[in-house]
Amino acid sequence: MSQQAVYKAGIAGATGYTGYELIRLIQRHPQLEIGWLTSENSAGKRFSNVFDAPWDYPLIRLEDALSRAAEVDVVFLCLPHAASIGPVKAFVEAGVLAIDLSADFRLIDSAIYEKWYQTTHTAPELLNQFVYGLCEVYREQIRNARLIANPGCYPTSVNLGLYPLAKAGWLGERVIVDSKSGISGAGRKADLKYSFAETNENMTPYNVGMRHRHIAEMEQVLNRVNGHKPHRFVFSPHLLPVTRGILSTMYVDVPEGVTQSQIRDLYAETYANEPFIHLLPAGQMASLRHTVHSNRCAISITPVDPAQPDGTEYIIASSEDNLIKGASGQALQNFNIAVGLEETMGLL
Amino acid sequence: MSQQAVYKAGIAGATGYTGYELIRLIQRHPQLEIGWLTSENSAGKRFSNVFDAPWDYPLIRLEDALSRAAEVDVVFLCLPHAASIGPVKAFVEAGVLAIDLSADFRLIDSAIYEKWYQTTHTAPELLNQFVYGLCEVYREQIRNARLIANPGCYPTSVNLGLYPLAKAGWLGERVIVDSKSGISGAGRKADLKYSFAETNENMTPYNVGMRHRHIAEMEQVLNRVNGHKPHRFVFSPHLLPVTRGILSTMYVDVPEGVTQSQIRDLYAETYANEPFIHLLPAGQMASLRHTVHSNRCAISITPVDPAQPDGTEYIIASSEDNLIKGASGQALQNFNIAVGLEETMGLL
Amino acid sequence: MSQQAVYKAGIAGATGYTGYELIRLIQRHPQLEIGWLTSENSAGKRFSNVFDAPWDYPLIRLEDALSRAAEVDVVFLCLPHAASIGPVKAFVEAGVLAIDLSADFRLIDSAIYEKWYQTTHTAPELLNQFVYGLCEVYREQIRNARLIANPGCYPTSVNLGLYPLAKAGWLGERVIVDSKSGISGAGRKADLKYSFAETNENMTPYNVGMRHRHIAEMEQVLNRVNGHKPHRFVFSPHLLPVTRGILSTMYVDVPEGVTQSQIRDLYAETYANEPFIHLLPAGQMASLRHTVHSNRCAISITPVDPAQPDGTEYIIASSEDNLIKGASGQALQNFNIAVGLEETMGLL
Amino acid sequence: MSQQAVYKAGIAGATGYTGYELIRLIQRHPQLEIGWLTSENSAGKRFSNVFDAPWDYPLIRLEDALSRAAEVDVVFLCLPHAASIGPVKAFVEAGVLAIDLSADFRLIDSAIYEKWYQTTHTAPELLNQFVYGLCEVYREQIRNARLIANPGCYPTSVNLGLYPLAKAGWLGERVIVDSKSGISGAGRKADLKYSFAETNENMTPYNVGMRHRHIAEMEQVLNRVNGHKPHRFVFSPHLLPVTRGILSTMYVDVPEGVTQSQIRDLYAETYANEPFIHLLPAGQMASLRHTVHSNRCAISITPVDPAQPDGTEYIIASSEDNLIKGASGQALQNFNIAVGLEETMGLL
């Protein structure tokens, strides 16, 4: 296709928050427009009846979308975990570019998938056809990919925050990640746990330690970028009373002799040309406001002991919008890379 | 019972927000303690498993509570609307003081109940045995009452705010009430509409105009306190992104010739000895912070046109905590009045 | 200039919320870029030191910007009220397009300005050179204008909500406007009144009745669009605990005989081709989520009495983002119109 | 004094949040009432003009209060840091019980004070006359004390959460504390950093690592309760967008061979009779809702690796209301202990 082509997108599962966010972003993307939208619960209605938004698209069933695969150039799958596997097979056969926002194809190894998700993977043969769409790390593989697994929101914040250290071999074995996520991360559903009166003015840790599934994506990225280092992630997510945003405060050890300025240089070089990475200068800490409502990830580097600026303990903080850089924005960035458009198109 | 008696309370429907709030308030009431608590969904569990609270009471089924009516001196019914009717009959037979926080017995006239609630009242014979427990207006009837219908949260804020004007015959025919309520007012339930990500950073009017059931309680109180005046209530509730609190901004007309100082005197006299009414001086407006986490109702009186301070248009604002003065606190106040305790006991 | 031209913008007062928002919007506008930014308090610093944002522009003093007027095609003035008058004179002399976001030039009549702002206007001769930039009402005058007064946030929500009724002569004399505004509306400043711990979980009416300066803009627009009708605005703003957004709930009377469908048709025709007006169908109410983080205004029309759908009392609700449609987005829309670009450019 | 005595309290610095909270709590304390209140900024006004509250006490200057020391039995000093030293001397001379909520007398060693606060202590001779009022740890010293330094909010959450481990000698050397605090913790002041529009929907780490003054109180308590163990605290406070509450998520190592059940038993025994400590059962995590608006501290104990329940890594989470257990509630608890009242009086 030429540069000026307008692509068409199908969105499977358009009435969750990631679907909504994709539709919102596509409104301002000059070379992408909506083909069809699916919703199992709201098929037959219009999108503007389901959301407080003016975008008046019809909603169809997924099974009807499958027969209309040829109408679109790309499908974004925003389905619940485990629900993507069947449709992905169909879109693979139809030859359409598929970007899956679920966790179904993120893990290379079906055994690891099954360990964390406690269910047998029903299409293990597809796993190695997928590229893990962490754009800043796997950009080359994403170009021309036809199957992209969009990373999870928590792992994106952790992996982008620690990738330079891990790649350089400077990340200590134990990594303590204290993450705080806005409540849209739980998805759009009726659940007392996520109701306003339960979560507002509250803060709750959950699944802390080594229990959360998203650890698998951290291991898959950070343990492999410099050989198979056995980093061990203690990961404590917390429900934060904001609608959107993830802040990860990460406690890491670096080898003796590695100085603060070496670490800053490493990050600066690694992310030198990245339009969506915002490296903060010494003395500033990443906050949610650096990134919410944008596709950016902000990263700050702080030595634990200011009296020993070249000590071996650091606090890396990273922030992102869980629905944009942690989901739909990154999916669109993957699309732009895969089809050869300007990577930032529609994402500024 | 003597002044030093300790009463026992049963709470039917203890795992909603009004049940929680009653249990919390009873912890600090020196002459009231928990007898039993019911919960249809959580029977068999402990209260401390259902709420983030240390109060370790067992939860039993309502049907089991009915046979233990004699163990308690008062039953607070915090059941969903229409669910109180059966149990109330049983508690009436057992002779226990019953304070019903639902809407089932608030309306004197079953025809009005049926008009607004679109369902036939199954115990119309009980309606006129109930006292409407708006303490500041019906205190004398509440003393020694055995059946008390606790007022709704919105009507309490409106009725307390306008009662002096209505009683004096100074309230104009059309009353515009723009109310804003915290989201706990919708109850404790899994409902997408009340989820954090839908309600936070949002504000939504709903059931505006003459559609909301709570108008019936405004008519019942304000149209009758000075004969049968046909006040007409345009009532617009809004979902406000706070956990608790109701602010009602009320636009009223008074007769020509009635001065601002007459109105202030009227309110001051009407509420002279009321421990829970906080009348604000000229120039201050009622805000939620005047009242949340207390049993108070704050009221402000502001002429519309400061250049014509004795004009006929006023803005009356009232605020209250919807779960305390608008529900459980008022229920406890009713209990204190009914059994002859100090009215403020446990409520400061 | 050709369609592909890139314009340069100067922003005077870039470190308030409207300045920030303009800079954010300009990042995605394909034909506008930053020339210079001024800040009296932060001159000498970089924008990225003042805000949690990656945009690394230098900040200069206003007096230095005046000598660099020729470097830019448009100046957006985001200065405190009364501070725009001097700079505007300088930019007028330099011949640069000036869009003033303050209140200084919004009122045609300096006497009215002085009545509401209690200060003498020091450049009354400029007042009638300004166009009032309410795009949907005064679009023809805005084309080719060189001096544009950007409307206030509250008046935009009220004027867009009531303009069709007023223009048709169907708006009753007394209009009751109960508005709720996010706290960014108060500006970016250290003030205990707007601190988190004072405003969160709170709701406060202020300057209610006929006291708020913004009433002057409502009168100027709505009283003149169909002759000089003496509409009288009872306007009650409330501080709402959200960062952004204004919801105005408006209680209006229409003449007998005007039906609901006539009113709906009137709105549909008036706003038929407006890209930023979102008219809601019967049964839906405008909420903040319809519009925040967008340049849209959502409007709903609801008869007060559903039993008399063609009664004469209506509730019109409108919502907008106070910083976008109520300020910086509308300013950019004015720029697009004035220079002949696509009106929606950079605003989707 | 007899059990039925009513004590009088003076509050120096009554118009901050801790002053407000003390006044609110004293309303429901049956044996304590307000003597006088001071405020440098609001002297001459009434308390009800300064806060949205009905308590109509006069506000006087601190210098006038000093001459009225004999009128009260206890003085609560809620003054800014460094401002308590002078008044405390005066109250010491007057022989009144003084409970200081500032940091001025919390550190036993003036050298440590001067290291962290970067200012010379002007009354070092008083330091060792003060008891550090962490009630659950130093109760015996508090009985009959005349000078009590009320602990800081962050250290209270950390010290109560880790005291059993430290006392048993089971706390590893490095302790990582990731704390999240509501914004009232910053005090009541006009400061852009704490304004609603800057903090809402945001989350910001600040002073992370080994920079925060409150570390000194953690060292003073936890390093001494079992000899002089050199625990090292990596302490990362975060600004959390809630009004009140502190959640501390603490990453600790215990010696090999210490089992989970031993740790649970240790906590259970240590806090067996503590009315304000809420130990959570296995599987529950401390959240803000466990404690806000109460004087409680909730503590949860979670092994990092559920597959190795007796591993050596644990996550201890503790929550408290920063204004109550972290300040005014604990001050009142100290008062109750010091004068021999029921410890929970007024605090349920």
C-alpha–C-alpha distance, residues D248 and D251, integer Å: 10
Residues of B in contact with A191 (CB under 8 A): 190, 195
Write the CA distances from C253 to B116, C166, C261, D124, integer angstroms. 26, 11, 15, 73
CB of B234 within 8 Å of any CB in chain C? yes
CB-CB under 8 Å, B251 with C306: no
C-alpha–C-alpha distance, residues A36 and A58, integer Å: 8
Question: Where does the pLDDT of residue A82 fall: very low under 50, low under 70, confident under 90, or very high at 90 and above?
Answer: confident
Shortest Cα–Cα distance, D196 to chain C (Å): 4
- Give the residue-averaged pLDDT of D292-306: 96
Against chain B, the chains showing at least 3 CB pairs within 8 Å are: A, C, D
Residue B204: strand pairing partners: B239
- Give the residue-averaged pLDDT of D6-26: 98
Residues of chain B with pLDDT under 50: 1-2
Q: Which of residues 94-123 of B touch C (CB under 8 A)?
A: none
Interface test with A, best of C20, C32, C45, C52 (most A CBs within 10 A): C52
Smallest Cβ–Cβ distance between A287 and the set D203, D247, D289 belongs to D203
CB-CB under 8 Å, B289 with D348: no
Question: pLDDT by residue (tens digit) across D257-291?
Answer: 999 999 999 999 999 999 999 999 999 999 999 99
CATH number of D7-129: 3.40.50.720
CB-CB under 8 Å, C196 with D200: yes
CB-CB under 8 Å, C293 with A293: yes
pLDDT of the residue at D3 = 52
Is C201:B243 a contact under the CB 8 Å cutoff?
A: yes
Give the type of residue at A317.
A
pLDDT of the residue at A2 = 47
- ipTM of the complex model: 0.96
Question: Where does the pLDDT of residue C2 fall: very low under 50, low under 70, confident under 90, or very high at 90 and above?
Answer: very low
Q: What are phi and psi of B263, to 5 degrees?
A: -65, -45
- Give the residue-averaged pLDDT of C147-153: 98
Smallest Cβ–Cβ distance between D195 and the set C182, C196, C242 belongs to C196
pLDDT of the residue at D255 = 97
Question: Where does the pLDDT of residue A3 fall: very low under 50, low under 70, confident under 90, or very high at 90 and above?
Answer: low
Is D152:D216 a contact under the CB 8 Å cutoff?
A: no
The DSSP string of A264-328 is: HHHHHHHTTT-TTEEEPPTT----GGGTTTSS-EEEEEEES-TTSTTSSEEEEEEEE-TTIIIII
* Cβ-based neighbours of A232, under 8 Å, separated by 6 or more: A173, A174, A175, A210
CB-CB under 8 Å, A195 with B194: yes
CB-CB under 8 Å, C210 with B304: yes
Question: pLDDT by residue (tens digit) across D60-99?
Answer: 999 999 999 999 999 999 999 889 999 999 999 999 999 9
Report chain D's mean pLDDT, rounded to a whole number.
95
CB-CB under 8 Å, C192 with D188: yes
pLDDT of the residue at B1 = 41
Question: pLDDT by residue (tens digit) across C172-222?
Answer: 999 999 999 999 999 999 999 999 999 999 999 999 988 889 999 999 999
Residues of A in contact with D234 (CB under 8 A): 251, 304, 313, 315
* Cβ-based neighbours of A332, under 8 Å, separated by 6 or more: A22, A25, A26, A29, A32, A295, A346, A347
CB of B208 within 8 Å of any CB in chain C? yes
Residue whose tokens read 């009471």 = B57
pLDDT of the residue at A81 = 84
Residues of C in contact with A53 (CB under 8 A): 290
CB of D45 within 8 Å of any CB in chain B? no
CB of C201 within 8 Å of any CB in chain B? yes
CB of C63 within 8 Å of any CB in chain D? no
pLDDT of the residue at B3 = 53
Give the type of residue at B64.
D
Is A338:A97 a contact under the CB 8 Å cutoff?
A: yes
Question: pLDDT by residue (tens digit) across A4-39?
Answer: 789 999 999 999 999 999 999 999 999 999 999 999
pLDDT of the residue at C3 = 52
- Give the residue-averaged pLDDT of C226-241: 94
Neighbours of D121 (CB within 10 A): 20
Identify whether D297 is a catalytic site residue.
no
Q: Which of residues 285-344 of C touch B (CB under 8 A)?
A: 285-289, 292, 302-307, 313, 315, 317, 319
Report chain A's mean pLDDT, rounded to a whole number.
95
Neighbours of B111 (CB within 10 A): 10
CB-CB under 8 Å, C247 with B306: no
Question: pLDDT by residue (tens digit) across A210-268?
Answer: 888 999 999 999 999 998 889 999 999 999 999 999 999 999 999 999 999 999 999 99
Kindly state which CATH superfamily the domain C154-322 is placed in. Dihydrodipicolinate Reductase; domain 2 (3.30.360.10)
Smallest Cβ–Cβ distance between A290 and the set C27, C52, C287 belongs to C52
The length of chain B is 348
pLDDT of the residue at A25 = 98
Alpha helices in chain C (DSSP H): 17-27, 47-50, 62-66, 85-94, 110-117, 124-127, 135-142, 153-167, 196-199, 215-222, 260-270, 329-339
Helix, strand, or coil here: B157?
helix
Question: Where does the pLDDT of residue C129 fall: very low under 50, low under 70, confident under 90, or very high at 90 and above?
Answer: very high
b (16+ CB within 10 A) / e for B114-127? eebbeeebebeebb
Smallest Cβ–Cβ distance between B199 and the set A17, A188, A196 belongs to A196
Residues of D in contact with C19 (CB under 8 A): none
C-alpha–C-alpha distance, residues C106 and B197, integer Å: 37
Shortest Cα–Cα distance, B110 to chain C (Å): 21
CB of B184 within 8 Å of any CB in chain A? yes
Segments making up each domain of chain A, as ranges:
7-129, 154-322
Residue of chain D minimizing CA distance to B56? D278
Report chain C's mean pLDDT, rounded to a whole number.
95
CB contacts < 8 A (A, B): 68
Write the CA distances from D68 to C118, D10, D59, D79, D85, integer angstroms. 46, 9, 13, 18, 18
Residue of chain D minimizing CA distance to C201? D243
| pLDDT for D188 beyond 60 | yes
* Cβ-based neighbours of A53, under 8 Å, separated by 6 or more: A20, A23, A24, A47, C290
Residue of chain D minimizing CA distance to B197? D201
C-alpha–C-alpha distance, residues A141 and C36, integer Å: 40
Q: Comparing C93 with C264, which gets the higher pLDDT?
A: C264
Instruction: Give the catalytic positions of A in this structure.
Output: 153
Question: pLDDT by residue (tens digit) across D192-250?
Answer: 999 999 999 999 999 998 888 999 999 999 999 998 889 999 999 999 999 999 999 99
CB of B56 within 8 Å of any CB in chain D? no
pLDDT of the residue at C211 = 86
pLDDT of the residue at B2 = 47
Question: pLDDT by residue (tens digit) across A145-198?
Answer: 999 999 999 999 999 999 999 999 999 999 999 999 999 999 999 999 999 999
Q: Counting Cβ atoms within 10 Å, is residue D192 exposed (0-12), middle (13-18) or buried (19+)?
A: middle
CB-CB under 8 Å, B194 with A196: yes
Shortest Cα–Cα distance, B40 to chain A (Å): 16
Residue B74: strand pairing partners: B9, B97
